[in-house]
Structure 1
Amino acid sequence: MAIRPSYGSLGQGSWGGPRGAPLPGPSSPKKLAACQLVLFASCCLLLQEQSCVAAVKVNCSRPDTYSLYTVLNTALNNSALRPVISLKTPTNVNVSFTLYSILGVDDKQQVLTTFIWQVLEWDIEYLSWDPEQCGTERVSLPRVMIWVPDILINEFMSDNKSPQTPYVYIDHTGHVYDDRPLRVDSSCSLDIYNFPFDVQICSFSFGSYLHYASDVTISQGQPVEYILEESLNVMQNTGEWELVNISVMDQTLLTSNSTYDMVVYNLTIKRRPMQYVVNLLIPSCFLITVDLFSFLLPPESVDRSAFKMTLILGYTVFLLIMNDLLPDTGSTTPLINVFFSICLALMVASLLETVLITNILYSSGQYPNVPRWIRILVLQYLSRLVLLPQKTSQSNRVTVFLNPGVQDVQVVKSLEGGGNVPCQTPESQLDRAAVELLKRLSRDLQAIRQHAEKHFKSSDSSEEWCQIGHILDRLLFAIYVVFICGSFIVILAIWNKAVLKSERA
C-alpha cells in the first residue's frame, strides 16, 4: 500500500508573527477582524456536536429562471466550505469516466495519452427546492459558485491542457453533476516483452490531493460494465491501440496522520500488430527465405558468398531504417529483438558455411590425400544421409609395356573392372639398333607414365575433396533448414504463450 507524505498542521506563529509574540490589541480594523475569526472558530469547535450549517429549503417567489438563480445565489454564499450540515459528516464523491480516445503510448517515456470525460457527483446536503414551485428540476451554475472537490488522477505526468468547462449541474435535491473533458498524460509501466503482440494494463487513480478520508470519501460512480460499453461506443480513433477491458478497485493511501481514499480504474489495452507484422516480420521472413534458397546456387559457377554478403548488408540497413518502430528496450528485451538477432545470426552462419565450402572446392588440389576416416565417414555414411551417393570414376589410362624377352610392344588399356586387354603389334624382325631405340623409348615412356600416375593420383584426391565439399554443403543446408524451422516454432510458441498469459491477466 502506497504511503504519501503528510503535511504538518499549522501551529503557533503560523499567522505571520513570531512564535510566542503578544497579540495586538483590538484597536485597528485588522486586529478586530482577527479577533472575530478566532471567535468564529471557537464557536464552531463548541458546536461540533450540533449542526454548523442549517438546511436551506429554497422557496421561489415565481417559477422562473431569474427567481431561482436569485435564491440560489443567496443560499450558496460560501463556496469555501464543504457542503455538509455537520463537519463530522464526510462528503462522498462518486467518480466515473468515459474513455473517448487513446491518443498514443510513448514506449520510451512510459506515458499513456488519453482523452476522457470525467464525471464527479456529490451532494449539497443543505440545499433543495420544489421543482414545481421553481419551474425546473436542475440548473447549471458556474463552478466557482460552489465547493468543488480537489479530485486528481495520481498518474498525471504533465500540465493540464484540457479544455475548460465553467458550469456544473445541480438538481432539486442538491445533487451536483460535474462533467468535464480531460486530456490525460499518465504514467504507465509497460511490459514490452511481447511486442508487437503486447497487452498493457494502465491505471487511473482518482483521489483527493488534500482532504483526508474522514472529510472526503471516493467511490465508484457508474458500473464498470456500463463504462466499458459506453467507452467502446463513443471511441473515435482506430489507431494503434484498442480498449479491451476496464476494472475497478478501492484503495487507501496511508500516512502518519490519516488516510486518503481512492478509487482505481485499470484499463486493459491491446496493441494492433498489423503495422509491425507488415513492416518488420514479413520482410525479415522474406530475406531469410531468399538466403535459404541461395544454397541452390552452384558454388562452382556462381559467387554465392557475394550474394549472401549483399543480403546481410541489406538486412542491416533495413533494421537501421526500421529502428524507430521498435520500442526502447529498457529493463526488458522484446522478443522481436531476439527474432531479429536470430535472423542475422543465421545469415552470418550461412555466409561462413559458403566460405568453407568454396575453400574446399577451389583449393582441393592443394590438400593432401583424404584421410581414411574422413573418406569412410563422409563418402560412405554422410553421403547416404544427405541422399548424395558417391561417384565412381572411370579410368581411361593406356599403359605401354616393353617386353625385352619377346622384343615386342604391348598396349594395354585399363578398364573399369580392373582387367587389361593387350593390343598386339605386328611382329617384326628388328635389328639391334632398333632394339636399343625401343629401350630408350621404353625408359622415356616409363617416366611419362610415372608423371601421369602422379597427376591422376592428385586428380583423384581433388575429386574426393570436391565430393566431400558437396556432401558437406548439402548437410549444412539441411541443418540450416532444421534450425530455421525450430527457431521460428519456438519463438512463435513463446509469443503465443505470453500473449495468452497477458490476456488472462
Structure 2
Amino acid sequence: MSTWRFIVLFCLAASCSRASDCSYSNLLSHLNLSSSNYFLANFRPVKHWKQVTGVELYLLLFGILDVDEKFQTITTHVWIETVWKNDFLTWKPANFCNITQFSIPRSMLWTPDINIQEDASDSSSTQESYYVTVYANGMLQMTARQRLTSTCTLNLQRFPFDRQNCNITFSAMNNDDQSIQIWTVRGDEFITNISGQAMVTHGEWSLTHLEVVKNVTVGGNPQKSKLIYQVTIERKPMLYVVIFIIPLCYLLVLDVASFFVSESRGEKLSFKVTVLLSISVLLLILKDMLPSTEDNLPIIAKFCIGVFALVGISVLEAMLVSFLVDMDDKYGKKLARASNKEVRPDKLEKKDPVKEKAEGLPVQIGPPSEREQPELFLQEVRAAQQEAASVADAPRPKRFCRVAEIIDTVFFFIYFCTVLTFLSIMYHMWIPSDFFS
C-alpha cells in the first residue's frame, strides 16, 4: 500500500513541476529547435518530398512616393506578410501552459525564397523582421516593410489625365511549382480598402484599385508559380491644367482676338509673334515633363503642336496682310506724284504778248475774238481727256487695302471654325468624362 501511495505522490509532484515550468525552453526542447539543427534551417519542412509547400502572400500599400516617367519606375512603400506551414513545428498548447505562439530568429528556420521580379531598389530599402512567428498548428508568419522601386511600363498617351497599371509579381527564385505554390486568400476589395485606409502619402497620385491575379503558372523549364498584384493608380491633373493647359488655351484665344486689332497701328503682327514665342516657352517646359522614349506622341504634345501650327499660320497671314497694306501705300504715293507731273503740262498756257512779239507774231491785246473761242474750247476738252486717261491707267488708290480686308475677313472665319473644331476634338480625345464631376 505504501508503494502505491509513493507512486501517486511521485506522479503528482511531476505534474506539478511540469505545470509550474511555463517557459519557452521546454517547448523548444520538445520541438528540437536550436541553432545546431541543420535540417530545420536548410530544408523545406515537409514530411514527404513530393508534398507542395503553400505560401500565402499579403501585400498592403502604405504610400505612393514617386513615379519617374523618364526611367519608367514607380516607388511605393509596401508591407508584405508571408505565411507557410512547417510540418515539424506543431504542439498541443494544453501540454505547454497554453502557449499558442512564440517568436524565433529567422536564421534558425527555412524561409521561402520569394522575390519581386520588378524590384529595382537597393537592399538597404528593405526592412525584414528579424524574427519569425511560430503558431501551434505549424503555421509560420514573417513580415517585411520595403521602399519598393519597381519597373513599370508607363503609358503617357493621355498625360496628365493618365491612369497607370503596374504589376508587382512574386515568384520563387530556386523552386518550381512542384515545390512551392504561391497564393492569397484575401480579395481585391478587401486589400484595396485596407490599403486606402493605411496609405499615408499619395503625392500627385491616387490609388484606384489593387487587383490580385491568383495562381499564375508561367511556362518554361521548370515552371514556377507566380502571384501578381496589379496596382492601378490615377494622376491628379489639376496642377498641370492650371500651369500648362489653361495658358495654352488662353494664348490661342488671344491670337483669335488679335484679328480685331487694327492693321493701321502696326501692332497686330508684333502681338502675334509674342504669342508664338510664349507658346515656344511652354513647349520647353513640356520637354522637361515627358520622356523622349515614347513611340507615339502623347495627346498633350499633339495639342501643343496644333496650337503652335495654328498660331504660326495666323502669323503668316498677318505678314501677308501687312505686305498688301504697305504695297498700297507705296503705289498710292507714286500715283500722286505722277498725277501732279502729268496734269500741269496739259493745261492751257496763257499767251504772253512779250513772247509773241519776240517770235514775230502779232500781239493781241484784249479778249479773244469769236474765231479763237471754239479753238480754245477744243484744247481744254483734249487736256481733260488726257488727264482722265492717265488717271485710269495708274493703279487705283486703296485697291490692295480692299484685297487685304477681304483676305483677313475670310481667313478669320476659317481660322475661328478650325480652332473650335480642334479644341472639341482634343476635348473628346483627351479629357475623361468624369473630370468635372
Taking structure 1 as the reference length, the TM-score comes to 0.69
Q: Find the counterpart in structure 1 of residue 42 from structure 2.
A: 80
Whether contact under 8 Å (2:54, 2:84) holds in the other structure is yes
Which AA in structure 2 matches 1:204? Answer: I
Q: Find the counterpart in structure 1 of residue 7 from structure 2.
A: none
Whether contact under 8 Å (1:121, 1:175) holds in the other structure is yes
Q: Find the counterpart in structure 1 of residue 246 from structure 2.
A: 282
Q: Relative to structure 1, is the Cα distance of residues 453 and 71 closer, same or farther in structure 2, using a 3 angstrom cutoff?
A: farther
2:99 to 133, 136, 158: 136
Q: Is it true that 1:483 corresponds to 2:418 in the alignment?
A: yes
- 1:197: Cα distance to partner? 0.9
Q: Is it true that 1:474 corresponds to 2:437 in the alignment?
A: no
Q: Is it true that 1:315 corresponds to 2:275 in the alignment?
A: no
Which AA in structure 2 matches 1:451? Answer: E
Bigger mean CA offset, 147-156 vs 137-146: 137-146
Gaps of 5+ in 2: 1-17, 333-346, 349-365
- 1:222: Cα distance to partner? 2.1
- 1:303: Cα distance to partner? 3.0
Distance 2:185 2:84 in 1: 10
Q: Is it true that 1:62 corresponds to 2:7 in the alignment?
A: no
Q: Is it true that 1:117 corresponds to 2:79 in the alignment?
A: yes
Q: Find the counterpart in structure 2 of residue 254 from structure 1.
A: 219
Q: Deviations over 1:315-374 (max 9, x none)?
A: 212321342123434212101000000000011000011111122222136789xxxxxx
Whether contact under 8 Å (1:312, 1:344) holds in the other structure is yes
| Mapping of residues 358-437 of structure 1, within 5 Å | 358-364=322-328, 431-432=367-368
Q: Deviations over 1:45-88 (max 9, x none)?
A: xxxxxxxxxxxxxx987223454455556378231011111112
Q: Relative to structure 1, is the Cα distance of residues 439 and 140 closer, same or farther in structure 2, using a 3 angstrom cutoff?
A: farther
Whether contact under 8 Å (2:114, 2:170) holds in the other structure is yes
Which AA in structure 1 matches 2:150? Answer: S
Q: Is it true that 1:98 corresponds to 2:63 in the alignment?
A: no
Distance 1:109 1:435 in 2: 106
Q: Deviations over 1:236-258 (max 9, x none)?
A: 113121111122223112223x3
Q: Is it true that 1:225 corresponds to 2:161 in the alignment?
A: no
- 1:179: Cα distance to partner? 1.3
Partner secondary structure for residue 432 of structure 1: coil
Q: Is it true that 1:107 corresponds to 2:43 in the alignment?
A: no
Partner secondary structure for residue 41 of structure 2: coil
Whether contact under 8 Å (1:197, 1:272) holds in the other structure is yes
Distance 2:200 2:156 in 1: 25
| Mapping of residues 75-224 of structure 1, within 5 Å | 77=37, 78-132=40-94, 133-160=96-123, 161-224=125-188
Which AA in structure 2 matches 1:105? Answer: V
Distance 1:329 1:98 in 2: 31
Partner secondary structure for residue 191 of structure 1: coil
Partner secondary structure for residue 214 of structure 1: coil
Whether contact under 8 Å (1:61, 1:67) holds in the other structure is no
Q: Find the counterpart in structure 1 of residue 337 from structure 2.
A: none
- 1:260: Cα distance to partner? 0.8
Q: Relative to structure 1, is the Cα distance of residues 186 and 333 closer, same or farther in structure 2, using a 3 angstrom cutoff?
A: same
Distance 1:128 1:75 in 2: 15
Q: Relative to structure 1, is the Cα distance of residues 500 and 129 closer, same or farther in structure 2, using a 3 angstrom cutoff?
A: farther
Which AA in structure 1 matches 2:126? Answer: S
Whether contact under 8 Å (2:56, 2:185) holds in the other structure is yes
Distance 2:400 2:205 in 1: 58
Distance 1:202 1:457 in 2: 77
After superposition, the CA RMSD in angstroms is 3.1
Q: Is it true that 1:306 corresponds to 2:270 in the alignment?
A: yes
2:228 to 264, 277, 291: 264
Q: Is it true that 1:244 corresponds to 2:179 in the alignment?
A: no
Partner secondary structure for residue 255 of structure 2: helix
Which AA in structure 1 matches 2:68? Answer: D
1:355 to 307, 319, 342: 319
Partner secondary structure for residue 163 of structure 1: strand
Distance 2:189 2:311 in 1: 51
User: How many aligned residue pairs are there?
Assistant: 382
User: What percentage of residue pairs aligned between the two structures are identical?
Assistant: 30
Partner secondary structure for residue 43 of structure 2: coil
If each structure's helix is expressed as a fraction of its own residues, which one has the higher value?
Answer: 2
Whether contact under 8 Å (1:120, 1:178) holds in the other structure is yes
Q: Deviations over 1:218-273 (max 9, x none)?
A: 112422221111111111113121111122223112223x3111111111111111
Whether contact under 8 Å (1:218, 1:263) holds in the other structure is yes
Q: Relative to structure 1, is the Cα distance of residues 290 and 127 closer, same or farther in structure 2, using a 3 angstrom cutoff?
A: same
Q: Is it true that 1:332 corresponds to 2:296 in the alignment?
A: yes
Q: Relative to structure 1, is the Cα distance of residues 329 and 493 closer, same or farther in structure 2, using a 3 angstrom cutoff?
A: farther
Distance 1:105 1:434 in 2: 107
Q: Deviations over 1:432-481 (max 9, x none)?
A: 3697599669746854664366447746x333432222122111111111
Taking structure 2 as the reference length, the TM-score comes to 0.79
Which AA in structure 2 matches 1:146? Answer: L
Partner secondary structure for residue 127 of structure 1: coil
- 1:281: Cα distance to partner? 0.5
Partner secondary structure for residue 213 of structure 1: coil
Q: Relative to structure 1, is the Cα distance of residues 166 and 438 closer, same or farther in structure 2, using a 3 angstrom cutoff?
A: farther
Distance 2:422 2:92 in 1: 75
Partner secondary structure for residue 51 of structure 2: coil
Gaps of 5+ in 1: 1-58, 369-400, 403-429
Q: Deviations over 1:134-165 (max 9, x none)?
A: 34322122111211100011111232321242
Distance 1:239 1:493 in 2: 27
Whether contact under 8 Å (2:84, 2:139) holds in the other structure is yes
- 1:305: Cα distance to partner? 1.2
Whether contact under 8 Å (1:154, 1:204) holds in the other structure is yes
Distance 1:335 1:63 in 2: 69
Whether contact under 8 Å (2:70, 2:290) holds in the other structure is no
